[in-house]
Amino acid sequence: MSQNASSESRSGRPLRILHCLRAPVGGLFRHVCDLAAGQAARGHAVGIICDATSGGSSAEAALATLKPACRLGITRLPIGRLPGLADLAAIAEVARIARAQKADILHGHGAKGGAYARLAPLLRRGHKAGRFYTPHGGSLHYSRDSAAGLAFLTAERVMMRRTSGMIFESAYGEAAFAAKVAPPSCAARVIHNGLREAEFAPVETAPGAADLVFIGELRALKGVSDLLAALALPRAGGGGPTAVIIGSGADGARFQSEAQALGLTGRVTFRPAMPARAGFALGRVLVVPSLAESLPYIVLEAAAAGRPVLATRVGGLGEIFGGDENLLVPPGDPAALAGAIAAALSDAGALETRAERLKERVHRLFNAADMCDRILEFYGQAMASGR
């Protein structure tokens, strides 16, 4: 840690902060955008480094909106999902940018971004910066029982020696890291994701909306197969709830084939990715059947919009639901999910009361301005510790 960076942090003078991540998609990317915008609004110089091969037009639009706030620029490099030789060139480029921009802080997000932010300073020993890491799930979705999991989790333990501070978006994430890797040997803090005040405006349900809406990346971990299986279970009186599945991803075609094979063609429709609030209008209840999560933004966003949420008991979801945690459904259990869906749709009054209660809790505890202030405060405290 450079004396210059540490003194700037303690004195409140502007910091030069580079955020590094892989794919500019999903909740991780949304978190980085919110954090970068908030830090820039507080007078700090901010830049972003992310993958050039993913994200599509939505990422390009989000980065274009953010560009005026990024005084240290927005750099897009080819960054693969899995480790490879191409990472060496990308890490060298991150190191070059960090030195050229005189970065005080490298903040890595996700497993790949976290690795780049902590390994890059090794290549530029003349320039030292604070190295911060937010896992956002990442390697923690793996088990040591697999070869890949053992490799990734061992790498996490080794890189912890190169870390100035770790920020977990949920207490669950911190506990999972301690169990799978080791208790953090550096400064660490839980700082929940937060929403902007404008996001608490209600969303009106569109005419002809489905009973349920799923919004997210179409991959196995999100539990879409369990949702389809739950919808296909026989129910008294025949028929069943309708659903719209919104998103894109590697398993999208497989899910559409599953829906057809289960006879759900008339009840389930698939739509391409769209802004979350536009998606909320297309279904009465958001369903989140995930097999693993950390602290998903989609649940916070739905709660803020006044949309009822049915979710599985995974990751930090209990931290969002608070006293209603008992209403969460076991993951990987289509029958339990079908029962929760039937119970929710049969009692509109109870569903609305739950939605109002969740909205009040999210408004009180998950605030973007507070998130930004606490992360900046943590930078200063971790840097002042001298690691």
Tens of each residue's pLDDT in the chain, 387 residues: 343 443 344 446 899 999 999 999 888 999 999 999 999 999 999 999 999 999 888 899 999 999 999 999 999 999 998 889 999 999 999 999 999 999 999 999 999 999 999 999 876 665 679 999 999 988 887 888 888 888 999 999 999 999 999 999 999 999 999 999 999 999 999 999 999 999 999 999 999 999 999 999 899 999 999 999 999 998 766 679 999 999 988 899 999 999 999 999 999 999 998 999 999 999 999 999 999 998 999 999 999 999 999 999 999 999 999 999 999 999 999 999 999 999 999 999 999 999 999 999 999 999 999 999 999 999 999 988 765
| Contact by Cβ (8 Å): 287, 243 | yes
CATH of domain 3-194+367-384: 3.40.50.2000
Q: Which of 203, 211, 275, 291 is nearest to 244 (CA)?
A: 211
**What's the pLDDT at 121?**
82
**What's the pLDDT at 11?**
44
**What's the pLDDT at 138?**
80
SS3 244: strand
| Contact by Cβ (8 Å): 115, 108 | yes
| Residue whose entry in the numeric block shows the structure tokens 């008294």 | 236
Tokens of residue 86, six digits: 């191409």
Tokens of residue 63, six digits: 């980065």
**What's the pLDDT at 58?**
85
Rounded CA-CA distance 267/105 in Å is: 50
Rounded CA-CA distance 329/267 in Å is: 22
Domain boundaries, the chain: 3-194+367-384, 198-365
Residue 362: CB atoms within 10 A of its CB come to 24
Q: 155-196, pLDDT tens digit by residue?
A: 999 999 999 999 999 999 999 999 999 999 999 999 999 999
Q: Which of 358, 344, 315, 326 is nearest to 223 (CA)?
A: 315
**What's the pLDDT at 1?**
39
SS3 336: helix
| Contact by Cβ (8 Å): 366, 31 | no
| Residue whose entry in the numeric block shows the structure tokens 């919009």 | 305
**What's the pLDDT at 8?**
46
Q: 67-96, pLDDT tens digit by residue?
A: 999 999 999 999 998 889 999 999 999 999
Determine the residue type at 254: R
**What's the pLDDT at 126?**
54
Q: 29-59, pLDDT tens digit by residue?
A: 999 999 999 999 999 999 999 999 998 888 9
pTM across the whole model: 0.87
CATH of domain 198-365: 3.40.50.2000
Give yes or no on whether 3-194+367-384 and 198-365 have one common fold: yes
